[in-house]
Amino acid sequence: MLPDLYEGYVSWKRISQLFSAPGTAGSSGPGDETRALIRAANPDLIASVRDCSLGWTAEAVLSGLTLNVERGSILLITGDTGLGKTTLLKSLVGEVRVLDGFVNILASRVAYCDQAPFFLPGEIVREQVLWGNDMDQTLYVAVLRACQLDVDVAQWSDGDSQVVSTAEGVPLSGGQRKRLSLARALYHNPELLILDDVFTGIDSDTAAQMRDALFGREGFLQTRLPDMAVILSSSSGMFRATLWQL
């Protein structure tokens, strides 16, 4: 019950903000008929950005953006901090104003992994991953392994019944918070997975293990790519190089 109530509150709050702010993605995208035409023209299309100008206020932060994201693809967005990577990614979930053009999301299930993870205060790690969904033990174990959380769970005295006390993730470390948030996103089996610099703040050895477990030839995401698309932003030069090699 608690996950449902909290998720409902978060959804209501975001919807209220979106409809009270003119020029958001929620009010500038094409209608259902246009979406149907787009799907018919390209059934593999997951997301489309057309001639977009984006901003947190009435002033554009990014402009002239056009891109298509298709099922089965991994899109890596690179660049230094402050260049607008997060602005672009947030536009895909309706949290940034679309000042011109449109953002069209055709996926029915979208998971966004934020740079600043949030959690259900007082809930255990297992419920932070499930987030109100039914337990699929096989998927759950695979997700923990991909995020290198199986090692942490084995070390915690309460296992995956470890309590997360606050919305910020206390008492988990910064890296554990990032990995737990990613595990939640993966567990929801999205058609579009958006990862906003999720490897920042994770030690290099663990990040390398996660990279292989997620993007390697037999990795968690590689085996699911036919049914999904991944958009990943990174400001890490090391990660850009190693992902390119894969």
pLDDT tens track for 224-240? 888 899 999 987 665 55
CA separation for the pair 219, 210 (Å, rounded): 9
pLDDT tens track for 17-26? 433 344 344 4
Does residue 37 register a pLDDT over 80? no
The residue ranking higher by pLDDT, 139 or 5, is: 139
Q: Calculate the average pLDDT of the chain.
A: 84
Judge if pTM exceeds 0.95: no
Instruction: Give the mean model confidence (pLDDT) for residues 97-110.
Output: 92
Token code pair at residue 214: 């997620």
Q: In the 8-state DSSP scheme, what is residue 119?
A: -
For the domain bounded by 112-245, which CATH number is listed? 3.40.50.300
Confidence of residue 33 (pLDDT cuts 50, 70, 90): low
The domain segmentation of the chain, as residue ranges, is: 2-72+87-107, 112-245
Please report the DSSP string for the chain in residue order.
-HHHHHHHHHHHHHHHHHHHSTTBHHHHS--HHHHHHHHHH-TTEEEEEEEEEEESSSS-SEEEEEEEEETT-EEEEE--TTSSHHHHHHHTTT-SEEEEEEEEE--S-EEEE-SS----TTEEHHHHHHTTSPP-HHHHHHHHHHTTHHHHHHHSTTGGG-EE-STT-TTS-HHHHHHHHHHHHHHT--SEEEEESTTTTS-HHHHHHHHHHHHSTT-TTGGGGGG-EEEEEE--HHHHHHHHH-
Q: Quote the percentage of the chain above a pLDDT of 70.
A: 79
Does residue 245 register a pLDDT over 90? no
The residue ranking higher by pLDDT, 13 or 128, is: 128
| 39-48, 110-119, 128-137: segment of lowest average pLDDT | 39-48
The residue ranking higher by pLDDT, 78 or 126, is: 126
Instruction: Give the mean model confidence (pLDDT) for residues 67-83.
Output: 88
Confidence of residue 96 (pLDDT cuts 50, 70, 90): very high
The residue ranking higher by pLDDT, 101 or 43, is: 101
